[in-house]
Chains A and B, each alone.
Chain A
Amino acid sequence: MLVSEIMKTVNATLLTKDLPGQRDISHAFSADMMSDVLAYADSHMLLITGLSNPQTIRTAEMLDISCVLYVRGKKPDELSLAMAKRNGITVLCSNLSMFDACGLLYQAGIRGGIINNGE
């Protein structure tokens, strides 16, 4: 899915200025714990979260995650936004709950990853 389609699906606004052209996203990971994101999420996934401190963007940066969707109307602070822009991370914000946002995105074709417990 393109970022513009994700925005339509969860009625999200774009907080970073430029809408990237053809960034196609097929998988997502949702969590409020960055510990779990770091352990389980893959690069190029959409990160769906309600945690809005700067470590959310840091975490995305470390994992090469290119798009972060904040739910429950959470908004990143200035520092986070500046960090996102510097790293080319697209930031979206939706007023939906985590459950509703995930459900709608799933219905629209986005899938989770494989969780490899313990290997």
Chain B
Amino acid sequence: MENKIHFQYLIDGDDFTRAGEASSDIKSKLKMMNINPDAVRRVAIAMYEGEINMIIHADGGTIDVDVYPDKLTMVLKDTGPGIPDIDKAMEEGYSTAPDNIVSLGFGAGMGLPNMKRASDEMEISSVVGQGTTVTMTVLF
């Protein structure tokens, strides 16, 4: 069952400029592995949205990626404030992002629904005051 490759990324919660470096790295690795382009694109979108969320809503964290022959799983874990109402957070247009984030081009409340669309499976577990873990699977 060890037919997988593991990658781990540490996401710096203070550096918005570098947001997306992990997603960019995974994207180029998957391309080199000749994974089909549609799946690569879906992984990139889902992970990028998640990475941005970890930076703008929490304080960074870790992303663990496992690449299997037929799928990829990613676990995005932060120790931020948590999400009090996950159903509400999943609604298109719901955002608690402050104005300074909006002026950076994010905070439309589109990220979580877009992650759900881009992935084949998504699960959020969150405890207020402790943090959020988002697990997504993309089938190749």
Contacts and interface: CB of A to CB of B under 8 A. Distances in A.
A33 B24 contact: no
Contacts, number: 69
A43 B48 contact: no
Contacts of B102: 33
A33 B108 CA distance: 7
A58 to B, nearest CB: 4
Contact of B48 (A38, A53, A56, A64): A38
Given A53-B104, A55-B104, A58-B48, A35 B17 contact: no
- Dominant secondary structure of chain B at its interface with chain A: helix
B107 A35 contact: yes
B105 A39 contact: no
Contact of A119 (B20, B104, B117): B117
Interface in A32-63: 32-36, 38-39, 43, 51, 53-56, 58-59, 61-63
Contacts of B11: none
Contact of A58 (B19, B109, B114): B19
Contact of A32 (B23, B41, B44, B105): B105
3 smallest A-B Cβ distances: which pairs? A35-B108, A58-B20, A34-B105
Size category, B interface: 20 to 34
A35 B109 contact: yes
Interface of A: 32-36, 38-39, 43, 51, 53-56, 58-59, 61-64, 79, 118-119
Given A62-B48, A118-B92, A35 B20 contact: no
